Chains A and B, each alone.
Chain A
C-alpha cells in the first residue's frame, strides 16, 4: 500500500467517531478519504480537491468495515476525473449494497460465529483461551475485509460492484449465516451446563424455566422489548423477592 492509501486505511478505523443523525458516518468518511484526494491535480486547496471534499462530507452510511470500498472507488473516480454527477451517483449507489453485505457478512455471520466459538472454548477449555479464540477468529476476518474492501474499491473504481459479487463473498454469505445459527445453538446448552454447575437440581430447573419465559417473552409477547430490558426487569423482581426472602 502506498502512503496515502495506508493513511486512509488507518483513518477508516475511526470512520464512526463522529457518527451523527444528520450525515451518519459522512464526516468520518470525508476524514478517511482526504489523504487519497491530496494527490489530485492542483493539490490540497486546488479546485478538484475542494470539489471532491465538498462531495465527501455529505450523508453516507454503510457497514463501517465496508466503507473503505466506497472510499477507494470514489477516490479512484475522482482521480480519473469522472463527471460530478457520476461520482455522486456512485457514492450514493454504494450505500445500500455495502450496508447489506457488511451486515450479513459481519454482524450476522462472523461475529456470532466467533462469539459462539469463544463461549464454547471458555466453558470447555479456559476463559483466557475463549477470549483469545473470539479475538483471533473475528479480527482475522475483520482486518482482511477492511484491507480487501479498500483495495478492491481503489482497483475497480466505478466497476466496484463486481467485487461484491465475487465468489468468496457470495460463498461467505451462504455459509456464515447457517454456521452462526448452528454454533450459537450448540453453545447455549454447553454454557447453561457450565454456568449452573454447582447449583442444586431445583436451581438448575428454575434457570431453565426463566430461560424459557425469556425466550417466549422476546419471541411472542414483546419482540421489541430486548434482552437488556427483560434482564433488568427480571433482576429487579428477583432482587425484591430475594430481599424479602
Chain B
C-alpha cells in the first residue's frame, strides 16, 4: 500500500508537470492519467472509468492563451485512488467528486504559481531587460520547481482526500448510485456543451450532429 502511494505520488507529480510546464505530451489527460493510476493500484478498470468521466469534463476546456484550467490529470489520480477496489460502480461517483474537487484546487494553484512567477519577473526586471542569461535561467528554473512542488502537493492532498473517503465515507450509503448517475450525466452534458461551444453554429455543428447520429445508430446496432 505504501509503495503504491509513493508511486502514485510520483505519477501525480509527473502528470501535473505535463499539464503546462513540461512537454505537454498529454499524459495529463484524465484517460491516460487514470488508466496508469489504475494499473499502479491493480485496478485498471476503475482507473479507466473515472478517467473517462473526467476526460468528458476536460473536453469542455480549451487551454488557449492565459486561460485558467482545472488540473484534471492530478484530479484523476486522486479519483482513481478513491475508486480502486471499491465495489462495482458504487464508488465511481464519489471518486469523481474527489477528482473534481482536486481539479478545482489545481486551477487555483496554477494561478498562484503564475502570480509568483510574475513577482519574480517584476523583481528582476532590470537584470532581465539587460539580457542576463543567468537571470533568465534562474527565473525559468524557479517556475519549473514551483510547478513540481505544486503538482506534488496537489497529488498529496488528493491522495489524503482519497484515504479519508476510503476510511470514513460509508461506501454502502444508499444514494451513491445516484451520485454516480448524476456525475456521469453531468460529464456527458459538459462534454457536449464544450464541443458545441468550440465548433460554433456553422458547419462544425452539423458535423457534430452527424457524429452524434452515427454514434446512436452504432450503439443501437451493437
A14 at the binding interface (Cβ < 8 Å)? yes
Residue pairs across A and B with Cβ atoms less than 8 A apart, 28 shown, are A14-B140, A16-B21, A17-B140, A19-B21, A21-B66, A23-B121, A30-B131, A53-B136, A54-B131, A55-B131, A108-B62, A112-B198, A128-B44, A130-B48, A138-B25, A180-B198, A180-B199, A184-B195, A188-B215, A189-B212, A189-B219, A195-B184, A208-B185, A214-B186, A214-B188, A228-B100, A232-B97, A234-B186
Q: Is the CB of B22 within 8 A of A108?
A: no
* A28, A178, A213 — most chain B CB neighbours (10 Å): A178
- Complex interface: stretch among A76-84, A114-122, A147-155, A162-170: A114-122
- B188 CB to closest chain A CB (Å) equals 4
Min CB–CB distance B112 → chain A (angstroms): 12
- Contact between A122 and B52, CB atoms less than 8 A apart: yes
User: At the interface, yes or no: A20 with Cβ under 8 Å from chain B?
Assistant: yes
Contact assessment for B118 and A192 in the assembled complex, using a CB-CB cutoff below 8 Å: no
Contact of B185 among A49, A138, A214 (CB under 8 A): A214
A54 touches B129 (CB 8 A): yes
The answer on a CB contact under 8 Å between A127 and B48 is yes
Interface 0/1 of B30-62, CB less than 8 Å to A:
011001101100001101110111011101111
Chain B, interface size category, equals: 35 or more
Alpha-carbon separation in the docked complex, A189 to B129 (Å): 54
Which of A118, A219, A230, A241 touches B196 (beta carbons < 8 Å)? A219
Is B89 a contact of A199 with CB atoms below 8 Å? yes
- Number of A positions contacting B (CB below 8 A): 103
- In the assembled complex, the CB of B184 is this many whole angstroms from the nearest CB of chain A, namely 5
Tell whether A185 is near chain B: CB-to-CB under 8 Å: yes
Q: How far is the CB of A101 from chain B (nearest CB, A)?
A: 12
Asked if A218 meets B66 with Cβ closer than 8 Å, knowing A14-B144, A17-B21, A22-B121, the reply is: no
B193 within 8 A of A: yes
In the complex, the answer to whether A57 meets B129 with C-beta atoms within 8 Å is yes
Residues of B within 8 A of A173 (CB): none
| Residues of B contacting A242 in the complex (Cβ-Cβ under 8 angstroms) | 173-176, 178-179
